[in-house]
Chains A and B, each alone.
Chain A
Amino acid sequence: MRRPGVVILVHGVLIVGLILVAFPFFWMVSTSLKTKDESVSVPPRMLPEECRWENYAEAWNKAPFARYFVNTAAVSLAVTTAVVVTSLLAGYAFAMMEFPGKKILFVLYLSTMMIPFEVVLVPNFATINALGWQNTYAALIVPWMANVFSVFLIRQTLMSLPRDFRDAALVDGCGHLRYLWYIAAPLTRPILITAGLLAFLGSWNAFLWPLVVTNTEKMRVIQFGLQMFLREESTDYHLLMAASTFTILPIVVVYVVAQRYFIEGVSGSGLKG
């Protein structure tokens, strides 16, 4: 039985935290239902006088959002899958296998994290152009199929697995890939999902790279749709917030689903006493 003072304190802190996290979402949804005048009124209004659901239809029709959604979903899913697969394979090689130059290679690989994206933008673009990939899914996906940070993350986790697991598996005639697939991957699922989630988020929110490698409306992604509401001198905040709401909806869904796996992964990691 805990003391009531502690319970109140803990709940108080949690409630403040909840408000801090939830308020921007509340504000987004509330603004998305206001009229244009209400959205910029001073002092700001917490809630609209009446909910204007038609803002959503208006925002949706301001840009080809259906197309943007399909493109973004295809690119994000492909990038996420690819990042998880390549990071798992590379992470395993760096963690478990012995080969000449492994350390140097790993350090070199890690050091690429220090190079800002702006620096590689132009050479990457030149490569995409030389391959004739302008305005293709390939241009949006292939450069993002491997991710240094995810490799690092997964390598560290794989190294923390007891070596006995692998030795036992190898003695029983299990190859590297089979060990990776049946034993290592299930045990590192929380990290794989974290890596996937990061890749998905990055891909869903990408703007600069898609801007550079695509020109046609048909190949553009969701962040372009949001740009449509930002004008030099005036922004339609109510419509921008409506568009933001349906843009982040898939991320919220992915997050909720991933969180379930996350907890399952942590509680069933197979590492017992």
Chain B
Amino acid sequence: MRTSLILALMTALFVAGCGGEGPRAPAPSPGITEVTFWHTQSAENAEALKKIISDFSRAHPDIKITPQYTGGYTDLFRKMRAAISGGNMPDLAVAYESMVAEYASAGVVIALDEYISDPEHGLPKEKMADIFPGYIATNTFEEFGGKMLSFPFTKSNLMMYFNLDMIRKAGFEDRPKTWDEFLSQCRAIRKMTGRPAYALSVDPSTIDGMIYSFGGELYVREDGKRRTLFDSEASRNTFAVIETLAKEKLAFQINPGTYDDRDALSAERAAFMIRSSTSRPFLEDTIKDRFEWGLSEIPHAEGVKPVTVMFGANICVFRSTPERQLAAWEFIKYFVSPKVTALWATETGYLPVRKTALNEEPYKSFAEAHPRNRAAFDVIPIARPEPNLAGWQEIRKHLDRAETSVITGLKTAAETVVELTEKSNKVLAR
């Protein structure tokens, strides 16, 4: 009896080990170029992507795009690193700027400039001009000859979300436009409710955005050397705001890694949060029409132009055969066409990459339906990318610690700024 059980298991092992799904992909039909595309979209977004791909196939019967879901961005990056050394690279993949830079260092990603300027397959100047300049800039890599190594794919912005009813009850007409207004509204709301007004999520990107909004820059290049500007006045002002929020108990820090700020805003336990524009659909779902709320760019310093941080991933093409590279480019071109980017943005809550998407259905009706729907679109022109320098990932960790120590009252803003500058400059000096 025991022997037969073991035998059965052994047989199962043999069958499972030797059988298996056809190991190799079926031979491509003649004349069809196969393109594999690694992405991170799941659930409804994946359905929207599939639909766009099948529409593309109808328009390009000679190209077959195979989308492959490869987990989150970290998972995708691990899989890609294995593929760079071990083979079996995809033709297309979504990637953040820092990932694209790594692929470029490994020599596996191709520059898109030639494809863009190609008279037959390219994107003419007027079409390129329709893509938001910030999106072009963030995909142009200074460190790699100023080439465009990727294209915008899933874009969003850093936004301030606010409960307008609460702001009005506290005696103000509108959302805060400057940091001074922000602080005085927080004080009034605290007085009214007895609770902190701002659900603060510690986030390096928010700090970057605040420094921009105080008219500052994050780093400078001098004599070929790079150095951070965390000791600038803009950075000191940024940390001073955080310090005030902590000292006067105007903000409370949410648990890291959670979306407790969204819950707080939705439950009217906070009047403000600062997050990516991709949080909007979630809040629409939970707040519904219980109170009036909105989103806008983050506040700015008096006399400084409004600004916010640009988020989101891009798409890049990997070195293969001329046919496959061209087919991959054709898909990118299709994806950023006004109609498709309008559809993608409406279905997913990401931002369209073209200015004229606002004239295309279904985005047109969507944007007209409510001011909230187009708030993030309207701030694209003032959205700035964060540095895509080697080492910036590590600097983000220092920024995270710096903000945490100020918001928890462990250190003063002045001390933190000194320490942060020192640590970050060490990273860039390497």
Contact = CB atoms under 8 A, between A and B. Distances in A.
Contacts of B88: 129, 134, 215
A122 B276 CA distance: 34
Contacts of A132: 23-24
B140 interface: no
B68 A135 contact: no
Contact of A122 (B17, B24, B85, B286): B85
Contacts of A134: 23, 88
Given A81-B10, A211-B71, A228-B43, A138 B78 contact: no
Contacts of A112: none
B206 to A, nearest CB: 15
A82 B13 contact: yes
B281 A234 contact: yes
A141 B21 contact: no
Interface string B7-36: 001101100111111011000000000001
A185 to B, nearest CB: 9
B282 interface: yes
- Of the four ranges (under 10, 10 to 19, 20 to 34, 35 or more), the interface on chain A belongs to 35 or more
B16 A141 contact: yes
Nearest to A227: B71
Contacts of A75: 16
A122 B233 CA distance: 46
B75 interface: yes
B263 A78 contact: no
Contacts of B86: 122-123, 125-126, 128-129
A212 B78 contact: yes
Given A78-B16, A141-B16, A228-B43, A42 B9 contact: no
Interface of B: 9-10, 12-13, 16-21, 23-24, 36, 40, 42-43, 45-46, 68-72, 75, 78-79, 81-83, 85-88, 259, 263, 267, 269, 276, 278-279, 281-282, 285-286
Given A78-B13, A218-B21, A219-B21, 18 more contacts: A42-B269, A62-B43, A77-B12, A78-B16, A81-B9, A81-B13, A121-B82, A123-B86, A125-B82, A128-B86, A134-B88, A141-B13, A207-B75, A215-B68, A224-B69, A227-B71, A230-B42, A231-B42
Interface of A: 36-37, 40, 42, 62, 74-75, 77-78, 81-82, 85, 118, 121-123, 125-126, 128-129, 132-138, 141-142, 207-208, 211-212, 215-216, 218-219, 224, 227-234, 236
